[in-house]
Amino acid sequence: MTALPKQMKLGLYATATGGHVAGWRHPDAYADMGANLRRCIEMAQLAEDACFDFLFLADSQAMRGSDWDVLSRGSTRYVGQFEPLTLLASLAAVTEHIGLVATANTTYEEPYSLARRFASVDLLSSGRAGWNLVTSSNEEEAHNFSAQSHMQHADRYRRAREFAEVVLGLWQSWDADAFPRDKARGRFFEPSRMHLLNHQGEFFRVRGPLNVPPSPQSHPVVAQAGASEPGKALAAATADIIFSLLGEFDAARAYYADVKARLPRHGRTPDDLLILPGINIFVAATEAEAQAKQAAVQGLVDPVVGRSFLEMMLGASLGSHPDDGPLPELPPTNANTSMRQKVVDVAREQNLTIRDLYMRMTDKDTFTVVGTPAQVVDQMELRFHGGAADGFVIMPSFFPNSLRDVVEQILPELRRRGLFRTSYEGRTLRENLGLRSIARPALLA
């Protein structure tokens, strides 16, 4: 039998008002996406009709920042959106195929309750759930969880490794045939098909079992976005998907090769982990029209918001340093170290001013492509066939126009080249992603 040609996997960044710091201000944007279920359903069903693999909800358990005036001017700092698992449970009832992935951090959660909530969404959706495993990079969250200070970076990753081991273990509490619900015999479940975890580690002591039956895909898919050394190590051991934010081609290809090379240490193959960079697309019939679309969104950036957003990415205040001056030397941070280093490197290598830099970061410095459908897909195909991506997470600047542009102009070109599906291959997220179900070894061994 001839093997089918490899095709891209596509996710949709579906958080609140889109991926651009000023997208919500566009005249056509749904500015209330974070609190309007009808709009969210429209978005999810549009993505499903287009055969996207999954939609992805980012999250934070605190607003990113404490300057309320600055925060009041923006929408991308987690200031007004549904709790993601609650929203996914609602979307599970109005979709049939698309995967439902949400962020939950290991710093301010407990493994048992998180495993239970995600397993429930997985069961409600008939096997379409995914967990984006992150350590908290938001120091503001400490103030919402009775903590005196934010846990140190290295400690957060040690906790995350053990947290992942507990969750993955709890998701294997039951065999597929563990619940006969045999009325005549009076046996609801088979004890011999149940597996106690009995975990005792540095941070957690969890007996189990999880009191949620397995879904058709056994347990949720695991996603991550780590770019630091601890993050890449954790992803190689635990993740099925990595969301990356690497705009430059050589850096993206080096990251791809690095992470894939780590998999054999964990008994895994390169096909067991999909690397999906974020991509922001401005597309139109002509390149000039596409550039005008980008300029229209960029022109909505409030300098105060742009500067504050940059400070959030750097984990440090820029103080009185002027927008037209260079990025100053920064004090150490306990926030997201890989993101900070990436931003600093871009500023130094390209001699950018603070204004240049925050305008560059308005879409989180994703891989941004501006042009005609053929020009955009050329760039996507280059990365897909060039060892830099297994697909992409589409990060629309705002809803609905940016997503409709991709659905109506990019997907037909991808399909014309045989690079994207015309229908779903399976019923579960794991099947549609082409991932095998594996029992991972203990992370702490």
Could you read off the pLDDT tens digit of each residue along the chain, which spans 445 residues?
445 679 999 999 998 888 898 999 999 999 999 999 999 999 999 999 999 999 999 998 877 778 888 888 877 777 889 999 999 999 999 999 999 999 999 998 999 999 999 999 999 999 999 999 998 777 788 788 888 778 887 888 899 999 999 999 999 999 999 999 999 999 999 999 999 999 999 999 999 999 999 999 999 999 998 788 888 998 999 999 999 888 789 989 999 999 999 999 999 999 999 999 999 999 999 999 999 999 999 999 999 888 888 887 888 888 889 989 889 888 777 666 677 887 888 888 888 899 988 888 776 667 899 999 999 999 999 999 999 999 999 999 999 999 999 999 999 999 999 999 999 999 999 999 999 876 555 565 4
User: In whole angstroms, what separates CA 88 from the centre of its chain?
Assistant: 14
Strands 367-371 and 221-224, how do they pair? unpaired
Provide CB contacts within 8 A for 374, sequence distance 6+: 413
For residue 77, the SS3 value is coil
CA–CA gap between residue 352 and residue 128 (Å, rounded):
43
385-413 residues labelled b (16+ CB within 10 A) or e (exposed): eeebbbbbbbbbbbbbbbbebbbebbbeb
Percent of the chain that is helix, strand, coil (3-state, to 5): 40, 15, 45
Single-letter residue type at 392: F
If one looks up domain 9-290+364-433 in CATH, what number appears?
Answer: 3.20.20.30
In 351-423, alpha helices (H): 354-360, 373-385, 401-405, 411-416
Provide CB contacts within 8 A for 83, sequence distance 6+: 59
Q: Which of 131, 155, 161 is nearest to 142 (CA)?
A: 155
In the numeric block, the tokens 């042009």 are attached to 371
Structure-derived torsion over alpha carbons of residues 150, 156, 160, 161, reported in degrees to the nearest 10: -160
pTM of the model: 0.91
Two structure tokens written together for 270: 């390169």
